[in-house]
Structure 1
Amino acid sequence: MQPPPIAFSIHISASPEAVYEVYADVPGWPRWDPDTRAAGLDGSLQAGARGWLRPRKGLKVAMHVAEATPGRSFTVECPVLGSRMRFGHELVPAAGGVQVTHSASFHGWLAGWLDRTVGRDVRAGLPATLVSLKAHVEQGGAGR
Structure 2
Amino acid sequence: MMTLAEAQITSPAEPAAFFARWADMATWPEWNTDTEWVRLDGPFTLGATGQLKPRGGPKVAFEVTGLVPEREFTDVSKLLCARLTFRHLVDRTPDGATRVAVTITLSGPLARLWNLALGKGIKASVGEDLARLAAAAEAKGAGPRAGGEVAAA
Length, aligned pairs only: 141
Distance (Å, rounded) in 1 between the aligned partners of 2:113 and 2:25: 28
Aligned match of 2:104: 104
Aligned AA for 1:37?
E
| SS of equivalent to 2:74 | strand
Q: Is the 8 Å Cα contact of residues 17 and 138 (structure 2) preserved in structure 1?
A: no
Alignment of 1:88-127 (within 5 A): 88-94=87-93, 95-127=95-127
Deviations 1:18-55 (A, max 9, x none): 11111111111112111111101112221111101111
Residues 80, 64 of structure 1: alpha-carbon distance in 2 compared, 3 angstrom cutoff = same
The residue aligned with 1:72 is 71
Pairwise mapping of residues 28-47 of structure 1 onto structure 2 (< 5 A)? Answer: 28-47=27-46
The answer on 1:55 being equivalent to 2:38 is no
Aligned residue for 2:148?
none
8 Å CA contact 1:22, 1:141 repeated in 2? no
* 1:26 and 2:31 aligned: no
Q: Percent identity?
A: 33
TM-score, length-normalised on structure 1?
Answer: 0.90
Instruction: Using the TM superposition, give the Cα deviation of residue 96 of structure 1 relative to its aligned residue in structure 2, in angstroms.
Output: 3.8
Consecutive unaligned residues in structure 2, runs of 5 or more = 143-153
Note the residue ranges of structure 1 that are not aligned, 5 or more in a row: none
With 57-66 and 133-142 compared, the bigger mean Cα shift is at: 133-142
In the other structure, the counterpart of 1:3 is 2
Cα shift at 1:5:
4.8
Looking at structure 1, the residues matched to 96 and 138 of structure 2 have their Cα atoms a distance apart, in angstroms, of: 12
Runs of 4+ in structure 1 off by over 6 angstroms are: none
CA distance in 1, matches of 2:112, 2:31: 29
Corresponding residue of 2:130? 130
Q: Alpha carbons of 1:62 and 1:97: their partners in 2 closer, same or farther (altered >3 Å)?
A: same
Partner Cα separation in structure 2 for residue 124 and residue 73 of structure 1: 23
TM-score between the two structures when normalised by the length of structure 2: 0.85
Taking the aligned partners of 2:117 and 2:71, their CA distance within structure 1 comes to 30
